[in-house]
Amino acid sequence: MRIAGILILGIFFFLSCQKEMYDETPAILSTRQEISPPKEEIPITPEINPPQQEEIQPEQKNDEEEKNIHDYSSFLSQKEKELNLLEKALPQNKEKKEDTNIPVIEDLKKDMQMFDEFLLVLARNKKHLGEIQGNLEKKTFPKSSQPFQEKLESLGKKLSSLKEHSLEIEKKYKNLEEITKNQKQELQKKINERMSLKDSMTILSPLSLKHLMEKCSSEWKSLYPSSNLKIQYSHNDDMQSQVEKEKFSLIFSWIPLEDSTIYSSSIIAFDALSIAVFYQNPLEKIEIEDLSAVYAGEKKSWQDIGSSMEGDIEIYGWEANTFPFSFFSKILPPGKIFVAGIQIVSQEEEMLYSLSRSPKGIGYIRSSHFSHTNIENLKTLKIGNYTIKNGHYPLRFPLYCFNKQETEAEKKIQKFLEGIHGKKILKESGFLVQ
């Protein structure tokens, strides 16, 4: 029994110890939980697959390269066309060897400016061409499989051809640039020569040519700005007395000079005496015999010369010391003189004024002067079937020019009168130029 009691007591003691151990465990666990660091939740990054790049096929690459080469080829072809146009449009020397069509100094300066602008265009295009050549040098081709090798070889040949073409164009640029610089140098030389002509010349002219002389002087100044023309007018159409007193560089005259040894003569144009009447006069032409009879007093009425106008003819003529009078006098038969009572004038404007207020009047005036008047109530008659432009017109006469041609300026002004500039001025002034 004693042994059984001891066993029971031992079991009880064992169970008590187990209970205390069991009660202590939660406290320990709790303490550990308080001092232990909290666990952080590490997010799991999902796996990202890299984007799949679209594979470029060799054929697509070749097409792109071929397109680039084609663009270069088109561009170079276009530039070559532009160069050809520039080459054709390159200004040429306008001044002929005969020096008859010399441009005015302002035109020469405009040409000089055009050369400068042309050189700038060449410089810009050369720079652009250099950029293209640089791009062609850097151009490379990708390696490819056998099926595309033939196409790549073709593109390579085309690229080589373009490079050669660009060198040809570059050569053209250099050639054009050299030509332009040479022509610019020649042009500058001409300008300097024009400006260096500083001789002054004195010209003797009838007062009736004042309009023509003013035009000539202005045009000459536009060609040779440093050379002056001094115009001396004669109120008498007979130049002989003045020529004997002094020398002139140039003389214009309606009649030849007598015994002139220092001047060379030439006919630079023709003029004529126009027969003028009132615009309401029904007469359109007059025979030279009837005209002579009117001024000789043998025919006095308009009916006498075939006109339906009634009444006597009012006759207008010129002073005896004028060229129109002396030349018109030749129509009178030998032994005949002008009839008395002719109303006399001494200047063209006076003749025009008188006839414009005389419905039954008739008179004569230089055609060159009549052609640039604004009087609308006058008209001119044919003589027979001829107008003043016809070589058979009986009242046609030459305009003489006498020139010493000793100095360089005197030689040049003679060429000026015989050239396009002089002929243009003469035509604009109403003269007939051969």
Ordered by start, the domain boundaries in the chain are: 90-196, 200-269+399-428, 270-397
Residue 117 has pLDDT above 50, yes or no: yes
Mean pLDDT of 273-295: 95
Round to whole Å and give the CA distance between 118 and 187: 14
Q: Among 88-97, 150-159, 195-204, 205-214, which stretch is predicted with the lowest mean pLDDT? A: 88-97
- Give the model's confidence band at 135: pLDDT under 50 very low, under 70 low, under 90 confident, else very high: low
Q: In terms of Cα–Cα distance, which of 210, 188, 170, 191 is closest to 102?
A: 191
Question: For the domain bounded by 200-269+399-428, which CATH number is listed?
Answer: 3.40.190.10
Instruction: Identify residue 305 by its one-letter amino acid code.
Output: I
CB 245 within 8 A of CB 381: no
- Note the pLDDT tens digit of each residue in 352-380: 999 999 999 999 999 999 988 888 899 99
3-state secondary structure of 337: coil
Q: What is the CB neighbour count within 10 angstroms for residue 406?
A: 11
- Give the model's confidence band at 291: pLDDT under 50 very low, under 70 low, under 90 confident, else very high: very high
CB 108 within 8 A of CB 198: no
Residue 313 has pLDDT above 90, yes or no: yes
Round to whole Å and give the CA distance between 116 and 257: 51
- Beta pairing, strands 343-345 & 314-318: parallel
The DSSP element (H or E) to which 364 belongs, if any, is strand 361-366
Q: Could you tell me the pTM of the whole model?
A: 0.65
- Note the pLDDT tens digit of each residue in 142-155: 455 455 566 656 65
Q: In terms of Cα–Cα distance, which of 336, 282, 290, 335 is closest to 315?
A: 290
Architecture per CATH, 270-397:
3-Layer(aba) Sandwich (3.40)
CB 305 within 8 A of CB 332: no
Q: Which two tokens stand for residue 340?
A: 């008395």
| Rounded alpha-carbon distances, angstroms, from residue 379 to 241, 331, 352, 373 | 36, 21, 11, 11
Mean pLDDT of 97-111: 70
Q: Which two tokens stand for residue 266?
A: 């030439």
Q: In terms of Cα–Cα distance, which of 56, 266, 89 is closest to 176?
A: 89
Mean pLDDT of the chain: 78
pLDDT winner (highest mean) among 74-78, 157-161, 166-170, 427-431: 427-431
Domain 200-269+399-428 and domain 270-397 have a common topology: yes
- Note the pLDDT tens digit of each residue in 217-236: 999 999 999 999 999 998 76
Round to whole Å and give the CA distance between 35 and 252: 135
